[in-house]
Each structure stands twice: as C-alpha cells, then as structure tokens.
C-alpha cells in the first residue's frame, strides 16, 4: 500500500511540475517511446499536432528495450504552449487511448528535445523511464452482462491460476467467485471471459481480485443496455444548473462516479475560481448541490472522480458558456429576452410541403464585402434591415423577403468545437458539425464570445428578427455524434454510456469517430431535453437532423411526440442515412426504408437529387437536367413526394426500389445543399462543353422540378443566382473566399433570381403542388408516356404529367407540367383547349402569360413548361366547361361540339383530341 501511495504522489509530481525555463526553438525534436504489453506494434503510429494547427501522421522508426521509438521534427513552435498527440492504429482503425493527450512545450530541454514515454492503455505521460511500472496487471475489466465479464492482462497468465485464484469483490469486500473461465483453449492467455456464480447488483461497484495484481475497477458499460440498469438509474427530472433568484440547484447524472466537485468561477476563462463544493449523490445516480444567492452569470464546471482519476469538465446540460464553451454558465433567461419576446412566434404551416426552406450559414450570408451588412458573420447580421450592395441590390434579410422563402434552415449554431473563439481575428470558418455544447449558442457568431449572456441575447434577436418578417427558423442539429470521444464531457462524466461501442472501440456510423447511443434512456433524455430547450427558450420552428439514420426509431417517435405537445406544427426532417456502419440494426434506425414508422418526420430525397443533377459523389456523372438518359423514374419518384404512384417503375429508381414516404410532406425535395458541389459547380463539371447560357437553363430546370413537386422544397442559399464555391465539394473548413455568398452575382444573374422568385410565387399560388395525402397524389396526378393511350405523347429524356383541376378547387384549373432534359427542342401535341402559360424557360407568369391553343407546342431543350387550363382533360379528348354570365344562367355557348350534355345546369361540351 505504501508503494502504491508513493507511486501516486510521484506521478502527480511528474505531471504537475513544470521547468522554469522553456527552450522551444525554431526546430524541436519529439522523442516518443511507446511500450505495448502485447509486443504487437504492427500498424501503430502517432498522430501529432501543435495546438491550434493541423495534424500529421508519424511512424515508429526505431526500437529500444522499452519498445518502439518515434522521432518527430517540428518547426516554428516557439509560440505554441502544448503539442497534442494520439497513438493510433493504421488510418484510425483504433486508438490506444481514446482521449487526446498533450505535452507542454515547457518540457523542451536545452538541446531542443522533448522526450517522453507512453504505455499501452494508460493515459499517463511519463518523462522518466525509471518511474514506470511495467509489472503484470489487468489492463481492462468490463461486464458483458450481469453474470459475465471480460478481462485483458498485460502479460500472459496461466489459465489454471485464474480459475483457482481469481474473483471479484464489491465495495464492502464481498466476493463473487467464477463458475467458469474461458481463455481460448491454451494454457496461457491474456484475454479471459469470466462467468460468475451469481449476478452482480446493479448500482454496486466491483473490482478484480487476483494474487498480487493491483485491483482494477470493473467497467459497467456492459450493463448499460439492461432493463435493470434503466430501472435503477433512469431519471426523469431536470439536470444542469436550475436557476432561481434565490439559489441555483446543480444536478449532474453519473451513477459510476466516486466523487463530484462543483467548481464556481467568476469568468468563463482564467484563474478566477470562487469556490469548490463537494456534491451529494442521490437517487438514480444524480449528484446535486444547492448554492444560495443569485448566480446568474456565474460560471461552473464539474470535477469528476472515477476509478481514482479526476477530470474537470463542463456540463452536458449547460445552457450558457464562456469562451470556447469550456466553462458552463448559470443563466436567468428572463434577462436575455429582447423586447417583445413574450409575443414572438414563427409562421404556422399545417403541412411541411407548404414550407419553402432556404439553407443558410450565418457567416456565409453576410461576410462578403458586397453584402453591405455591418455585423458581418454574426447573428445580428442576419437581421439587419434594408441592406444592399453598392448597386442597390437587396442582400441578407431583404433578399430573403424579396425571394419569398417561408423558412431558413441555419447550419449548426449551437456551440461547436472547431472554432477558437479567442482567436476570431484568424477568420477561421467551419460548418459546425462538431458539437461541443448542445444547448449553448455558438460564440463566434456573437459580438462577444467571452460573455455567456451576449451570445444568448443575440441569437434570440436574430430569431425574433426573422419571425418579425414571417420567416421561420429551422435549426440544423447534430445529435448523432460529438466532436470529442474519449475526452468529451459525456465520457468524462459517464464513460462509454452515451456512445455505441464495438468491442471496446467507438462505433462510427457518423463517419466522424463516434456515434451516440440514442436508444439508451438517458441519451434519449439528453437529446429530447435539448430540443425542448431550443423550442421553449429560443422559439425555434423546426429541426433538421444531421445523419438522422444514426438515431433509433423509438427515440425519434418520442421526440416528435414531445415537441408536438409544445408546437403541433413544428417541422421535423433529416438525413435518412448514416455516414458508416452501426452496431444498431438497420431495422431499428430511422433510415429512409423505415420512414413509414413515423408520422410527420421527413427525409431528404436523394433519389430526386441525383436523378436531376447526377451522382453526388461522382462529379462527372450527369443527371436528367444535364442531358443524361434513363433517370426519368428517379425524378418522378421525387415529383410525387416518395409516395406510391402506380405509374412509376420502381425497378428503375436509382436508390429506393419502393416508396418510403407515407405522405408527400415526408419527402424533402432538393438538388443541392451545403455539402458537395453547388448546383452551378456541378454543371461546370458534368457539362464542360456547354455554354454558360446552356448551363443556366439546366440550373433553372433543376429547381423548376423541385419547386413544382409534391414534397417540401429545399433550396441552397445563393442557388437563386448561381452560387459557386470554386469547385470545392467539401468546404467545411475552407476559407471565406470559398464559402461566402457573393452578392454581386445576384446583380449579374438578376434574370435567374427573378425566375427562382417566380417559382416560389407559383408554388404558393397552386395547392395542387402541395397535396396532402398519397391518395390525392395517386388520384389527381397522371403521368404522360410514349404510348398512343397517353393524353400527351412524350419522348425519352422528357417527363410530363397532369394535375387534375380538383386538386386546385380555388382556381378550377388543370395543370400540365412538362420537363425536357434533353439537348434538343421537342414538339408535343397538346389536347384541344385554351391554355395559360404559367412557366416557360424564360419566365414565370402566375396570372397567365402566353396564351396557347391545342396542337403542336415546342418545349425547348433543358427547360420546363407549365400550362393551366379551365378545361377538364381526359384521355384522348377534352371536356370544355363553359357558360355565359347571363342573369338566369340559361344560355350556354360552345363550339366544335361533338356532343352536348347538360348536368345540373352546366353544359359539358366534348371536343375531339386536336391532332
């Protein structure tokens, strides 16, 4: 025991003592010694980065008695305080330690070297080889279930000795013996599966007992999915800093913690500690502490002790934070509300496909000098009024109003990890898909990231400013993963609970290093409580779920139920796929194939997207609008809103071979978004021989299809004036020069903007483009084909359909919609009737433009033609309804009649199909 204590004190001394002088020079050599108990170094390497800079991979190139050695030369780090590193296998196949680790540059010696030692499975960093204990030990011990655990030892152990000498003990020393131990059949082993004679008690802590091996706490992760764990520790109450004028009640959930200390700070950074208070553990694994007084604006953290290791971290339930989100803040939200906030609310739409969504990034919208926006790149810049370019072209909020969209979907604006809020002068850009504080606004968009109040106040001002203009706010949320894994606040407070694990490694369906375990009761609570917070405190009108397919169906159903209880018309949709494989079965995830399990949650229709513009990941592959053949059925799939329609050949649809939506509002129709090439850049690649004029027609055709289809239309900000990102298909951290919206293009392509503006007005004017049910879609939409039986015969690379006048009861008009994706003009033979042109390749005329009669009409290459008629069109013939305006309605006028039928005082004149 004395040896253990002395070693612990020495380790603390080694990790906390800092030389007075640093010898950081222009060049510094890192000398890294790495020991693996298993002796298997194949594939292991180092990932190293000076703090604030990009990382790079380095190999272990030497060997000594301790293990492998890597020598890494770094340059220009004189101003760097610490160097981060990860020991990894291959290209992120595994990490030795999940947490990022850092060595201070103050450790650099006079020769410009920084030498240190690492041991397999240990977070400790050693600077003296003589102080390292390589004696045999258990490296890991974890429960598989209530009667089974698995063990890994640093050195081989005789299986017979394990069977005779091994047991586990609870906190009171009560032992549980094994009934069987499996080790793969050999006499010696390092990996064991132990079956216990009786079940462990949920809530108790256990450790290993074996000969002179130091006891190791047994990880409870294998019990997290058990019903017993959920009953024992599932908590329904509030968590976080629960504020009142008289006191604040701090609550944090961690059934496995040995001790938690609440730290109170005067500011969000710096050496400003006010007090440290030991918290009390209560029912359900909730630790709490009440601090008297008005604590609004006080910052706090938790120091969590688990298995003797203490880590300080921020609150998963924080609703306010200081710079970079490293300290949470107590908030009185009444003090953050702008004037008129109590009466603030967004626009209400009963169906999602009544909404028209414009996806924007707060910085992109205003950072270009042409925007004329003073608060460039900030929350307040989004709602500056009457902004314009030097030439007088409306920008920002004025542009949104002029265009006519109903909602903006804003890329992540919760606190994310990738931007250093203390160095905004670097003008660092990021999309923000790396969550740090789920319930805190991102500080880089505020005028003062050091003030927890300011970011809250300014986000609310932005939302209210949009609502004042009748524009709803949809928040892009990323609950499928967190920016950090082993050193995230979730892991430090409750190791491995919030994430799906795969044989001790993080499951990675997000494609970013981890995925959250939404099916677990307290993860479901974290996500749901966060969404409720944004709705109640910030009046958010809807959510777009990043990689929604990572989440389980039951959680998404629960979310919908809870949010609709607050706002029955809230808009909910997401990506119906994952970014990688998951440990959760497909049948339990809310991917597109399972969308009919939910009622009013939508998903993006990538069938339509790639059908119109071409494959999103194969830049050169063209789509229907770019002249590619054989994609008509994929486009038609999106036109009907991904519901069943008998005239679609699902065998020819690109991704889904059957409908996945139960009603058209579930389909989010789009051709471009923040990721991948912009629509304009895509056509530059797929159609390099085309002229700009021809590509403009492809561009207009693409969103003419989207805007007139049955699902909810979604537009990428700036698409209405041919936004470009210079061919950058993954601009998540590219500079402003790539990502910014250049408002000068709006003046340059004013005719394109007017066309998009007209498309929006047209959609709003015609309910037939926004049908409510699958039955209405099937009943009132009729596709044309190349057979003689078709009302209009169309050729390949064309799509045409009719929406019956009963779908437009207020207008009493049948719509004919024709899309020509080919590179040649095509003549179509219209039935005999009187037509108004609502849309052609040049303009949108809602009140009726060019008048047409039946007969041959030209549909130009790569264009849309939409016509309306008061006549009823049927196969091969036209029913003409007409009557005079006489006082007794008794005189009927008709011409070209084959037969006259009088029904309820209305004359129906049947005319032959005009050839």
Show which residues are catalytic.
Answer: 546, 575
User: For residues 60 and 490, what is the distance between their CA atoms, to the nearest angstrom?
Assistant: 32
Cα 73–Cα 74–Cα 78 angle in degrees, nearest 5: 140
Query: What's the 3-state SS for 875-912?
Result: CCEEEEECCCCCCCCCCCCCCCCCEEEEECCEEEEEEE
Residue from 570, 183, 528, 557 nearest 346 by CA: 570
Give yes or no for a contact between 87 and 36, defined as CB atoms under 8 angstroms apart: no
Measured CA to CA, the distance from residue 861 to residue 691 in angstroms comes to 13
Beta bridge partner(s), residue 866:
817, 839
Burial per residue of 69-104, b for 16 or more beta-carbon CB atoms within 10 angstroms, e otherwise: ebebebeebeebeebbbbbbbeeeeebbbbbebebb
Element (H, E) at 684: helix 679-686
Cα separation, 604 vs 713, in Å, equals 10
Using CA atoms, how far residue 639 sits from 369, 635, 644, 768, 800, in Å, is 38, 6, 11, 12, 11
Q: Where are the alpha helices (DSSP H) in 306-392?
A: 362-366, 379-382
Q: Rounded to whole angstroms, how far apart are CA atoms 798 and 705?
A: 12
Asked if 398 contacts 386 with a C-beta cutoff of 8 angstroms, the reply is yes
Residue carrying the six token digits 């958010």: 540
625-642: string of b/e by CB count within 10 Å (b at 16+)?
A: bbbbeebbbbbbbbbbbb
Closest CA to 184 of 172, 176, 193: 193
785 DSSP 8-state letter: B
What the block records as the tokens of 391 is: 């030439």
Angle at 403 between CA 401 and CA 408, to 5 degrees: 70
Question: At a CB cut-off of 8 Å and minimum separation 6, what does 660 contact?
Answer: 576, 592, 593, 594, 595, 596, 603, 642, 666
Q: In terms of Cα–Cα distance, which of 875, 878, 868 is closest to 803?
A: 868
What is the three-state SS of 534-582? HHHHHCCCEEEECCHHHCEHHHHHHHHHHHHHHCCCCEEEECCCCCCCC
**Pairing assessment for the beta strands 94-95 and 68-75 based on DSSP bridges:** unpaired
How far apart are alpha carbons 15 and 604 in whole angstroms?
50
Reading the block at residue 804, the tokens are 């019956």
717: closest CA among 463, 464, 356, 452? 356
> What is the 3-state secondary structure of 111-172?
CCEEEEEEECCCCCCECCHHHCCCCCCEEEEEEEECCEEEEEEEEEEEHHHHHHHCEEEECC
The first and second tokens of residue 736, run together, are 């402003």
Asked if residues 439 and 412 have their Cβ atoms less than 8 Å apart, the reply is no
Asked whether 69 and 34 are in contact (CB, 8 A), the reply is yes
The C-alpha atoms of residue 241 and residue 250 are separated, in whole angstroms, by 5
Neighbouring residues of 588: CB distance < 8 A, sequence distance ≥ 6: 519, 552, 553, 554
């Amino acid at each position: 025991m004395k040896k253990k204590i002395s070693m612990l004190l020495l380790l603390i001394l080694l990790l906390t003592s800092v030389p007075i002088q640093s010898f950081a020079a222009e060049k510094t050599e890192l000398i890294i010694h790495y020991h693996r108990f298993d002796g298997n170094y194949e594939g292991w390497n180092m990932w190293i980065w000076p703090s604030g800079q990009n990382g790079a991979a380095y190999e272990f190139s030497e060997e000594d008695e301790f293990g492998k050695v890597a020598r890494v030369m770094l340059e220009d780090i004189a101003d760097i305080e610490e160097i981060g590193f990860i020991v990894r296998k291959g290209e992120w196949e595994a990490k030795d330690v999940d947490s990022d680790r850092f060595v201070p540059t103050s450790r650099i010696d006079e020769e410009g070297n920084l030498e240190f030692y690492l041991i397999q499975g240990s977070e400790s960093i050693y600077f003296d080889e003589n102080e390292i204990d390589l004696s045999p030990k258990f490296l890991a011990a974890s429960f598989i279930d209530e009667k089974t655990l698995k063990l890994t030892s640093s050195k081989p152990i005789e299986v017979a000795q394990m069977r005779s000498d091994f047991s586990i003990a609870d906190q009171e020393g009560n032992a549980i013996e094994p009934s069987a131990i499996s080790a793969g059949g050999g006499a010696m082993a390092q990996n064991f599966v132990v079956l216990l004679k009786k079940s462990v008690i949920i809530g108790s802590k256990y450790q290993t007992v074996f000969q002179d091996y130091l006891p190791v706490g047994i990880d409870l992760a294998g019990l997290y999915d058990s019903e017993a764990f959920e009953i024992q520790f599932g908590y329904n109450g509030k968590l976080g800093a629960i504020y009142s004028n008289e006191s604040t009640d701090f609550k944090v959930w961690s059934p496995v913690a040995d001790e938690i200390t609440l730290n109170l700070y005067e500011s969000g950074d710096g050496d400003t500690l006010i007090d440290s208070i030991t918290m009390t553990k209560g029912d359900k694994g909730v630790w709490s502490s009440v601090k008297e007084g008005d604590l609004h604006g006080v910052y706090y953290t938790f120091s969590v002790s688990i298995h003797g290791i203490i880590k300080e971290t921020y609150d998963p339930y924080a609703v306010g934070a200081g710079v970079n989100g490293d300290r949470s803040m107590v908030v009185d939200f009444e003090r953050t509300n702008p004037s008129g906030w109590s009466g603030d609310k967004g626009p209400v739409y009963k169906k999602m496909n009544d909404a028209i969504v414009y996806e924007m990034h707060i910085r992109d919208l205003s950072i270009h000098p042409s925007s004329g926006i003073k608060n460039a790149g900030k929350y307040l810049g989004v709602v500056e009024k009457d902004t314009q370019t030097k030439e007088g072209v409306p920008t920002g909020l004025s542009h949104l109003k002029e265009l006519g969209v109903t909602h903006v979907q804003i890329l992540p604006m919760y606190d994310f990890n990738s931007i250093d809020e203390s160095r905004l002068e670097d003008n660092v850009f990021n999309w923000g898909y790396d969550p740090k504080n789920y319930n805190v606004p991102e500080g880089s968009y505020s005028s003062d990231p050091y003030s927890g109040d300011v970011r809250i106040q300014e986000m609310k001002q932005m939302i209210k400013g949009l609502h004042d203009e009748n524009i709803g706010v949809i928040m892009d949320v990323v609950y499928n993963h967190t920016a950090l894994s082993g050193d995230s606040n979730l892991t430090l407070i409750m190791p491995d609970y919030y994430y799906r694990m795969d044989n001790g490694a993080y499951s990675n369906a997000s494609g970013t290093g981890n995925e959250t375990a939404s099916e677990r009761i307290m993860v479901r609570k974290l996500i749901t409580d966060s969404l409720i917070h944004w709705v109640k405190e910030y009046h958010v009108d809807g959510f777009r779920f990043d990689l929604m397919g990572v989440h389980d169906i039951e959680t998404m159903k629960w979310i919908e139920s809870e949010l609709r209880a607050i706002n029955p018309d809230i808009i909910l949709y997401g990506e119906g796929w994952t970014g990688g494989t998951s440990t959760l079965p497909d049948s339990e995830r809310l991917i597109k194939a399972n969308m009919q399990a939910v009622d009013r949650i939508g998903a993006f229709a990538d069938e339509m997207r790639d059908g119109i513009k071409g494959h999103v990941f194969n830049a050169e592959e063209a789509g229907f609008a770019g002249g590619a053949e054989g994609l008509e059925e994929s486009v038609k799939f999106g036109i009907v809103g991904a519901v069943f329609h008998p005239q679609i050949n699902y065998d020819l649809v690109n991704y889904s071979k059957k409908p996945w939506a139960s009603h058209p509002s579930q389909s989010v129709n789009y051709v471009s978004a923040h990721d991948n090439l912009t629509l304009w850049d895509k056509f530059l690649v797929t159609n390099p021989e085309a002229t700009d004029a021809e590509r403009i027609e492809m561009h207009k055709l693409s969103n003419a299809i989207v805007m007139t289809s049955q699902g909810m239309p979604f537009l990428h900000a700036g698409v209405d004036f041919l936004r470009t990102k210079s061919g950058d298909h993954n601009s998540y951290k590219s500079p402003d020069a790539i990502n910014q919206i250049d408002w000068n293009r709006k003046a340059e392509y004013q005719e394109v903007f007017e066309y998009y503006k007209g498309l929006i007005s047209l959609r709003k004017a015609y309910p037939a483009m926004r049908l409510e049910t699958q039955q209405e879609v099937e009943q009132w939409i009729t596709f044309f084909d190349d057979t003689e039986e078709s009302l209009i015969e169309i050729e390949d690379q064309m799509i045409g359909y009719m929406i019956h006048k009963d779908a437009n009861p207020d207008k009493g008009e049948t719509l004919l919609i024709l899309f020509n994706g080919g590179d040649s003009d095509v003549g179509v033979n219209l039935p005999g009737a009187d037509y108004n042109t609502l849309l052609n390749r040049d303009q949108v005329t809602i009140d009726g433009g060019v008048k047409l009669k039946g007969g041959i009409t030209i549909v130009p290459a790569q264009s849309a033609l939409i016509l309306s008629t008061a006549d009823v069109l049927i196969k091969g013939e036209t029913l003409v309804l007409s009557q005079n305006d006489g006082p007794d309605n008794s005189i009927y006028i008709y011409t070209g009649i084959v037969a006259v039928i009088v029904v309820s005082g209305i004359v129906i004149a049947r005319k032959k199909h005009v050839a």
